[in-house]
A and B are shown apart, each in its own frame.
Chain A
Amino acid sequence: MAIYVLRKLVFFLGAIFIASLAIFLLIRGAGGNVAAVVLGKGATPEAINALAHTYGLDQPLAVQYFDWVGNMLSGDLGRSFRTNERVSDLVTARLSVSIPLALSGLILGLLIAIPVGTYAARNVGTPSGAILALVSQIGVAVPVFWAGILLSLLFGVRLGWLPTGGWTDWSVSIWGAIRSLVLPVLSLGLIMAAVLIRYVRSAVLDVMNQDYLRTARAVGMTRTEALLKVGLRNASLPLVTIVGLQIAELIGGTVIIETVFSLPGLSRMMLANVAAREVIVVQSTVMLIIIFVIAVNLLVDLLYGILDPRVRSSR
């Protein structure tokens, strides 16, 4: 197990290094003269040079890259060109919106997908199984923003139960913050559930045909008991991987949901900064998100090692 963990850690660090290089080159490669773009058309060459010099943009690319990485390692994510705010402050201010949104969306998705997917697998070939498969298929086809708009029309506009958008900060009113998150979480969760149901269904179906499930019944479990006690633990193995992969989807979903419901989250902040050519802000924020995604996948791998003894001893 120790070797397994060590190998995963080395892979984790390697992936982060490659990602940092890719982000840096993509953003710098696309931008042209960053300082000129930031200052806009009317800027004088002197002003452009001054800005470039202040932020080290006139240095060779390699130097800029190592400066950026070095600063990140010491906890300095850089500053905004326009407002001179620290990127770390910008990010932390948004996390109180984005993390509850993404996490609750994922949990809601799983809470719906696991029982419904299991039910669909048990009822494969029956009308109710077919209806579930159809509904989840429709759910997959519905874009996240459309789900958000429909929900906000129903609960916000028609019924008036919840705000259609906007944000009440936690510091103002915890209840208000929760209220402004309900519809975004619901939209995100439903869309996640639709995708996950199909994976849960096929994982459970696969497990249902395994010999060890028959053995579980042969030593005294009922069909349902065998499925819940032996089947779900085994079905969770492929699901853990899928959930890890869905994290990237989840972040994509929050970008859209934060826009639809005008939430001041991380994703929306980043979109605005991309439009404003805030190179450092975008670069560092994207890097943070990538580290997060890779870290989740590392956790998934480690969890897999705990859940499946075969992984532990073979790799």
Chain B
Amino acid sequence: MTKPQQDRAQDRTNVLEVANLVVHNTTLTAVRGIDFTLPAGGRMGLVGESGSGKTLTALSLMGLLPMGWQANGSVRHDGVDLIAQSDKALSSRRGRTLSMVFQDPLSSLDPVRRIGQQVSSVIRRHTDAGKKEAERQTLELFRLMSLPRPEQLMRAYPHEISGGQRQRVMIAMALACYPQLIIADEPTTALDVTVQKQVLRLLNTAVQERGSALIMITHDLPIIAAMCDTVAVMYAGKIVEMGPVAEVFRSPRHHYTKGLLESQPTMDNIALDGSSRLASIPGMVPPLHSLPKGCAFHPRCSAATERCRTEIPQLEPGARRTACWHPIAAPAEAAIQAGVSAS
């Protein structure tokens, strides 16, 4: 069953086409109309502060929004509009053509089922594989994720293995059926710093091996720089800047992107004696229920003018897109230092 899917995936150019996606509940609108496309096998980073709508965007693509939240707009994937699908229709895609890796691997795995069973049941659900074959494929996935002693791991429970191993199991589960797209939502924030890099490296090679496209959600810019081709920067529910990773990080055009890049700690700009040169963006992300008029970033922006206070800037078309009335023209050398060298 996976083979024809791969063939079909190659026929199309885009694995995902998102147009005017809005995510809201009865009182709030958390994602305020975003558009982007992701080519087959492409890798996009989604960055932004907490509350910028990254996770709700991801969950709406999967049809996994929490109770009370609703998505509007269109999300084309594999020839259908995901937004219009029923839970049943979507469920047959989840884990097969679309997968997701969550932030906390301990709470995300079923505590009372053996790990081998949790992974192999995904394979059995979506393919014709029998019990034996599914177990064989599970072992293969565990080896792909460099998990130690895969045979014993099959019979282990989630609480019996380390956090890094749990997240590798989650990734194995997400990749089990060669999905066209895998969404990783802050896959390393809940892990020890020492294993973060290892997990990312394994995710990177495994995604490549399985030929999946990747959406990487994080607020850690060096991770995006290392793993993605394009990046979309979100602020208060909108994409404010997007483009090829190297270009956006080398010469950010939106003042928020520039601020984000400059507030990344590196060995150069961090000092323990208090004389830190690490910049921070003044102010806070506005709460969703009282977004400022015009550009949502204007109260925190040094370049804001009267126009920014009244009119909402739209993302201009093209490969390099910015939603700003006064985009930065010159390359900011500091940003290269801050963003790319740390990776």
**A interface residues (Cβ-Cβ under 8 A, vs B):** 210-212, 214-223, 225, 230, 233-234, 237, 307-310, 313
A308 CA / B108 CA spacing, docked (Å): 16
Contact A220 B102 (CB under 8 A): no
**B interface residues (Cβ-Cβ under 8 A, vs A):** 62, 64, 87-88, 91-92, 94-96, 99-100, 102, 104, 107-113, 122, 125-126, 157, 159-160, 170, 173-174, 176
Instruction: Please give, as numbers and ranges, the residues of chain A lying within 8 Å of B125 by CB-CB distance.
Output: 219-220
The 8 Å CB contact of B110, one of A222, A223, A230, A237, is A230
Instruction: Please give, as numbers and ranges, the residues of chain A lying within 8 Å of B62 by CB-CB distance.
Output: 218
Contact A220 B104 (CB under 8 A): no
Q: List 30 A-B contacts (CB under 8 A).
A: A210-B107, A211-B108, A212-B107, A212-B108, A212-B110, A214-B64, A214-B102, A215-B108, A215-B109, A215-B110, A215-B173, A216-B110, A219-B173, A219-B174, A220-B91, A220-B122, A220-B126, A222-B87, A222-B88, A225-B91, A230-B110, A234-B110, A234-B111, A237-B112, A307-B112, A309-B112, A309-B157, A309-B159, A309-B160, A310-B112
What is the distance, in angstroms, from B209's C-beta to the closest C-beta of chain A? 19
Contact A218 B110 (CB under 8 A): no
Contact B91 A221 (CB under 8 A): yes
* A interface, over-half SS: helix
Contact B112 A218 (CB under 8 A): no
Chain A residue, CB-CB nearest to B183: A218
Centre residue among A219, A223, A310, A313 by max chain B CB count within 10 A: A219
A216 CA / B113 CA spacing, docked (Å): 12
Chain B residue, CB-CB nearest to A314: B159
- A215-B102 contact in complex given A222-B91, A223-B87, C-beta closer than 8 Å: yes
What is the distance, in angstroms, from A227's C-beta to the closest C-beta of chain B? 12
A223 CA / B104 CA spacing, docked (Å): 21
What is the distance, in angstroms, from A231's C-beta to the closest C-beta of chain B? 10
What is the distance, in angstroms, from B226's C-beta to the closest C-beta of chain A? 25
A307 CA / B104 CA spacing, docked (Å): 23
Chain B residue, CB-CB nearest to A217: B64
Contact A219 B111 (CB under 8 A): no
Chain A residue, CB-CB nearest to B100: A218
Chain A residue, CB-CB nearest to B96: A220
- A218-B94 contact in complex given A211-B102, A211-B107, A234-B112, C-beta closer than 8 Å: yes
A211 CA / B170 CA spacing, docked (Å): 12
Instruction: Please give, as numbers and ranges, the residues of chain B lying within 8 Å of A218 by CB-CB distance.
Output: 62, 64, 94-95, 99-100, 102, 174
Chain B residue, CB-CB nearest to A231: B110
Instruction: Please give, as numbers and ranges, the residues of chain A lying within 8 Å of B160 by CB-CB distance.
Output: 309, 313
Centre residue among A210, A211, A230, A234 by max chain B CB count within 10 A: A211
Give the 8 A-B CB pairs with smallest separation, nearest first. A219-B95, A220-B95, A211-B107, A309-B157, A211-B108, A219-B122, A222-B91, A212-B110
What is the distance, in angstroms, from B279's C-beta to the closest C-beta of chain A? 35
Contact A313 B99 (CB under 8 A): no
Instruction: Please give, as numbers and ranges, the residues of chain A lying within 8 Å of B107 by CB-CB distance.
Output: 210-212
Q: A215-B109, A216-B110 are in contact. List 15 more A-B contacts (CB 8 A).
A: A212-B110, A214-B102, A217-B94, A218-B95, A218-B99, A219-B125, A219-B176, A220-B92, A220-B94, A220-B125, A222-B87, A222-B91, A309-B157, A309-B160, A310-B111
Instruction: Please give, as numbers and ranges, the residues of chain B lying within 8 Å of A220 by CB-CB distance.
Output: 91-92, 94-96, 122, 125-126
Instruction: Please give, as numbers and ranges, the residues of chain B lying within 8 Å of A307 by CB-CB distance.
Output: 112
What is the distance, in angstroms, from A220's C-beta to the closest C-beta of chain B? 4
Instruction: Please give, as numbers and ranges, the residues of chain A lying within 8 Å of B91 by CB-CB distance.
Output: 217, 220-222, 225
A223 CA / B63 CA spacing, docked (Å): 11
Centre residue among B109, B110, B111, B125 by max chain A CB count within 10 A: B110
Instruction: Please give, as numbers and ranges, the residues of chain B lying within 8 Å of A237 by CB-CB distance.
Output: 112
A303 CA / B99 CA spacing, docked (Å): 35
